[in-house]
Amino acid sequence: MNLPLAQIPLLLIALVAILMVGSTHLRLNIWLFSAQALLVTMATALSAVQHSDSHLYIIAALLFVLKVLAVPKFFMYIIEKVEVQRDTGTVVRAPVAMLLSIAFLWLSYILARQLPVPSGDTIGWPGATAAISLLCTGLLLMLTRRIALSQIIGFLVMENGIYIFGLTQTNGMPMFIEMGILLDVLAGVMLAGLIAFRIKKNFEHIDVTMLTELKENL
Amino acid sequence: MVNIQNALLWGYLLVSIVIVPGIITGLIRKVKARLQNRIGAPVWQPLLDLIKLFRKEETLSETASWLFRFSSALNLSIAVYLAITSPWISPRPDTGACDLFLFLYLFAAMRLFTMLGAMDTGSPFGPFAASREATLSFMVEPAAILSLASLALVARSSDLTVVFSNYTSQHWALWVLSGSAFLLASLVELSRMPIDDPTTHLELTMVHEAMILEASGKNLALVEFANALKLSILFGISAQCFLHAIPGLMVNASPTIHGIAGLTGLSLVAGSVGIFESLSVKLNWRAAPEFIAYSLAVALIATLAALGADFV
Amino acid sequence: MVILLELMAVPTILLLCAWLCKPTRILTKLSALLLWVQVAVVAIVVHPALLTNALPLVILPEITVERLDAMFAILTQVVVASSLTHAHVFFAHDDAHEPENHNKLRLFYTCATLFAIAMTSVFFCKNLGLIWISVEATTLCSAPLIYFHRNKHALEAAWKYLMICSVGIAFALLGTMFIFASSQYGAVAGGSLNLDQLTQSAPRLQYPLLRLGFLFCLLGYGTKAGIFPLHSWLPDAHSEAPAPASAMLSGGLLNCALFAIWRVSRLVTDSGHQQLVQNADLTMGVITVVAASLLLVRQHGIKRLFAYSSIENVGLMLAAIGVGSGSLFLFLAINHSAAKVALFLISGNVIQAVGTKSLHDIHGLLTVSPSWALVLLLGGFAVTGAPPFGAFAAEWQLLANISQLHLWPALVALLFALAISFLAVSVHVGRILCGTPKQMVTAFSPVYSSAIPVGLIIITLFAGLTAVHKFLW
């Protein structure tokens, strides 16, 4: 396969997301997320080299420190504290969800081909494909998992997709906005992690599909 | 000169058909035995078993019709035909075309006759297992077809001999993906470990073994041999897929290297299947679709890669 | 820069107080005082923008104040100040039961202050990226407010709130990126998120991308605002949060989310596609109003009832955005915020007094506490748009605008839904007021506990009687 170098991390990101949907081991999922974040960092760095854009280097460094190292570390810590290993999943089992996510990958390829692409850019369509499929896959992860932690990972996958979209479809968002977004998302993840802790403490489980006490009394 | 080479190739192919299935089955058993800290039977033991079975007397169910023995014989003939035409081993003589759909559906025909034979004897376990076999076979069909079809898509031919004659390893990722998908699908096709434990002795959980419970003597030998041949062909095809992914290995190589590579690849695949079977546990029947879904997922990714490679 | 310092001075003092003040009795009183000072500060700082619409008041580059922004900022500050002033009454009662909640209270005040800052910055930012960051910050700051009670229900509500809103907001981020992408094909060199630049070059934005961006932003910020199919977090969060937090969510946060939709809608309108805005916003608004009014009929919790009423009002405001009228949007927001804050604050007291949220067990308020009953009655009328309150004038104007556009199905649906919601809220409030009371703890001074709600009701009454919006524009 003679793909340009810049496209390879993008396609691998989409594949890693599919693997994440297929796996129910939380630790493996966190490792996969870390790998995905590393690929995102690589894509950013490649883009930085291509456009010789100094601010992308800073973003890449931040991504590496926060998403590749800090967030997975934090998740591992939570997993140890709440003592869960696997996510049993909801009605849609992991392999079936994996098939769905592959279908989403194909759909996003079709969609991505219809978007306008910045001129002279080789990462336009693989970027859009990866971004849209990551969005769908992240949503799928959130919908098909029970454990609070998997849902947070699903959210992060979605967020990666949006970041990839911004990276490949635009000539780079302004840096302070990019950093603000990163900060906000991380704060959200930390907060959600802390709430997951509390769920484990109060309910003795961490299965968020069982949080159904507040329903409509219709 | 050409004739001599052709004759040698034919000879190699026919000898392989007779010997390799037994050796491969024995190899898997040997690997599993060593992993269980047993010495295990020598790898050629299945061949000796076959000879022993051919010499044994046969007991036939009173309710069995002609179909019972006919199905075993037919299955073996189909297996031999496929072994001659399909590129499961290299180097091969020119044996004409082998369409991938014909290839897969002749295997399906083998399954059909195995199931008919199983239901023919009147044993309660036969139909039981046949129904499971039917369920599995229709679930695994998409994965098996897609994994080979993705290769055919890139080669622009559904003829397996054409598909496998391209040694440029340009699409190495596709070869690896298709090979893995086909290997996973073969495990289901062959009713092997995560789906069905071939060494189990509990009829209620058996799939393949329960269908051949009533076979004995020469009939059992035919069934066993056909099955071992099927195993070698399926594993051989995936081994060839993996070999095609290694850059520069098979391009312009001499027939000897082809032969060594093919046999080594097949043995490695069989050995890793043995290791996998030792490490895994038999899945709950209801979890079988999940395992098949994983193989389908790999096959789908291979197809996407093939389509992508086609467009780019 | 000086203006920024002025705006941030009081919140900084508040944060320091919340950090340093161990005895919370002083903290609650002090913060009530400081927040009204902050209302005055904001009003004084932004008053140039109120008087003239010619030049925006520049705080920082990309952070400027125009007239609508200024009005919304003052409204939000009033909402926060009222809620936290009343919180003194509310938490004083809580205090009697749980002496161990000082740290909880300090966290509450810290988060509430940050929440107010984030909400205000939504109105002032003139950059879609900054708006997104601010809206996400409001989610993060308000989740601890919802989790105040530290029990299972609060936990569930906070989790749902955080997850659903974060996912929604993620879609808004995607929409923001689409808009950014739409600007880089000839409109602005290199693309931009600056609203001024985008508005100037609006006709040159690439329409397919802009449309996608608008729809994703509507979906994302709409989740935050609680538009119909995505509203599920809203009743839970409003019902489980302590009353002052519910009031701030309903009276402040929903306006912020809608304001973000307003910004994007304006951009699309300026690009010459007001039909898209009208179709999407108005349709979603009407659907939300109809669905919320139907859901209002069968409610079992007093705060859930008012939460659904908030959803209905969000639908009305979205419809006002759809018809493209900023003044109408503002007028609806003022009336809804004032009346709903009053209702949430009073219903918080009612729940504390009766000890249950269930509408089946709250009866006879008229005999127990006439002042509360009066506020509930008037507030109920005010949020459903009965004359003479401001919401009536606003809804009248909205219906008039819709009929001018000849959108008869929307008009009929709105009239139908408004009638149902009026009946539903009246019946529920009537049941609360009449009947024989079960045991009531009347530990509340009627003057203190009703002062703020009555003041808010007077605001909306005044707005209705004078139809202020005629003079605003």
Q: How many interface pairs between A and B have CB atoms less than 8 angstroms apart?
A: 45
Percentage above 90 pLDDT, chain B: 53
- Candidates B160, B223, B230; CA nearest to B189 is B230
Which residues, listed in sequence order, are joined to residue C60 by a DSSP beta bridge?
C63
Helix (H) or strand (E) holding C58: strand C57-60
Segment C245-250 shows an average pLDDT of: 92
Percentage above 70 pLDDT, chain C: 95
pLDDT attached to residue C471: 45
Token code pair at residue B118: 């199983």
**Angle value at C-alpha A30, between A29 and A33, nearest 5 degrees:** 85
Interface membership of A136 toward B (CB under 8 Å): no
- Answer yes or no: is pLDDT of C453 > 90: no
Q: How far is A189 from chain C (nearest CA, A)?
A: 10
Q: How many domains does chain B have?
A: 1
Lowest mean pLDDT among A169-173, B163-167, C1-5, C325-329: A169-173
Q: Are A151 and A170 in contact (CB under 8 A)?
A: no
Tens digit of each residue's pLDDT (9 = 90 or more) over C280-296: 999 999 999 999 999 99
Is C134 in the same domain as C185? yes
Q: Is A20 exposed, middle or buried (0-12, 13-18, 19+ CB in 10 A)?
A: buried
Do you know the residue count of chain C? 473
Confidence of residue A218 (pLDDT cuts 50, 70, 90): very low
Is C196 in the same domain as C70? yes
User: Quick check: B309 and A15 CB within 8 A?
Assistant: no
| Alpha-carbon span C205 to C180, nearest angstrom | 9
Interface membership of A99 toward B (CB under 8 Å): yes
Confidence of residue A120 (pLDDT cuts 50, 70, 90): low
- Nearest residue on chain B to A96, alpha-carbon basis: B293
Block residue for tokens 């003022």? C334
Lowest mean pLDDT among A107-111, B246-250, C137-141: B246-250
User: Quick check: B293 and A95 CB within 8 A?
Assistant: yes
| Alpha-carbon span C93 to C101, nearest angstrom | 12
pLDDT attached to residue B310: 65
- Answer yes or no: is pLDDT of A2 > 60: no
* A76 or C473, higher pLDDT: A76
- Candidates A163, A208, A164; CA nearest to A184 is A163
Name the neighbours of B, counting chains with at least 3 Cβ pairs within 8 A.
A
pLDDT attached to residue B21: 94
Token code pair at residue C120: 């205000």
User: Quick check: A173 and C184 CB within 8 A?
Assistant: no
Tens digit of each residue's pLDDT (9 = 90 or more) over A24-40: 888 889 999 999 999 99
- Answer yes or no: is pLDDT of C425 > 60: yes
- Answer yes or no: is pLDDT of A117 > 70: no
Phi, psi (degrees; rounded to nearest 5) at C57 = -85, 120
Instruction: Indicate the residue among C254, C272, C290 that finishes a domain.
Output: C272
Is C83 in the same domain as C23? yes
pLDDT attached to residue B19: 93
The 3-state DSSP class for residue C66 equals coil
Is C387 in the same domain as C251? no
Interface membership of A153 toward B (CB under 8 Å): no
| Alpha-carbon span B78 to B226, nearest angstrom | 8
Q: How many domains does chain C have?
A: 2
Percentage above 70 pLDDT, chain B: 99
Is C359 in the same domain as C295? yes
pLDDT attached to residue B29: 92
Token code pair at residue C76: 């939000």
Is C322 in the same domain as C449? yes
Helix (H) or strand (E) holding C65: strand C63-65
pLDDT attached to residue A176: 78
Tens digit of each residue's pLDDT (9 = 90 or more) over B280-306: 888 888 888 888 888 898 898 888 888
| Alpha-carbon span B91 to B132, nearest angstrom | 37
Lowest mean pLDDT among B50-64, B169-183, C297-311, C439-453: C439-453
Is C53 in the same domain as C195? yes
| In chain C, residues 17-36 whose CB comes closer than 8 Å to chain A | none
Phi, psi (degrees; rounded to nearest 5) at C418 = -65, -40
Selecting from B172, B301, B312 the residue whose C-beta is nearest the C-beta of A102 gives B301
- Candidates B255, B254, B251; CA nearest to B243 is B251
Instruction: Indicate the residue among C272, C295, C315 that finishes a domain.
Output: C272
| Alpha-carbon span C426 to B61, nearest angstrom | 83
Instruction: Indicate the residue among C272, C287, C312 that finishes a domain.
Output: C272
Q: Are C376 and C368 in contact (CB under 8 A)?
A: no
Is C252 in the same domain as C298? no
Range of the domain at B243: 2-311
pLDDT attached to residue A217: 46
**Angle between helical axes of B255-279 and B2-35 (0-180°, round to 10):** 20
Is C308 in the same domain as C424? yes
Is C354 in the same domain as C400? yes
Segment C123-152 shows an average pLDDT of: 90
Selecting from B170, B171, B296 the residue whose C-beta is nearest the C-beta of A99 gives B296
Lowest mean pLDDT among A56-60, B268-272, C386-390: C386-390
Cα B139 versus chain centre, distance: 17
| In chain C, residues 230-289 whose CB comes closer than 8 Å to chain A | 235-236, 239-240
- Nearest residue on chain C to A201, alpha-carbon basis: C152
pLDDT attached to residue A1: 46
Tens digit of each residue's pLDDT (9 = 90 or more) over C392-409: 888 888 888 898 888 899
Token code pair at residue C4: 């920024």
* C439 or C458, higher pLDDT: C458
First to last CA, chain C: 29
First to last CA, chain B: 43
Range of the domain at C104: 1-272
Q: Are C213 and C187 in contact (CB under 8 A)?
A: no
Residues of chain B contacting residue A22, judged by C-beta atoms under 8 Å apart = 294, 297
- Candidates A9, A168, A15, A126; CA nearest to B311 is A126
Alpha helix segments (H runs only) across C355-438:
365-368, 370-384, 390-404, 408-433
- Candidates A129, A99, A131; CA nearest to A21 is A99
pTM: 0.84
- Answer yes or no: is pLDDT of C115 > 60: yes
* C238 or C50, higher pLDDT: C238
pLDDT attached to residue B85: 92
- At B236, the amino acid letter reads G
Is C281 in the same domain as C251? no
| Alpha-carbon span A21 to B293, nearest angstrom | 12
- Candidates C247, C240, C225; CA nearest to C78 is C247
Is C287 in the same domain as C214? no
| Alpha-carbon span C192 to B259, nearest angstrom | 63
Segment C5-17 shows an average pLDDT of: 84
Residues of chain B contacting residue A109, judged by C-beta atoms under 8 Å apart = 304, 308
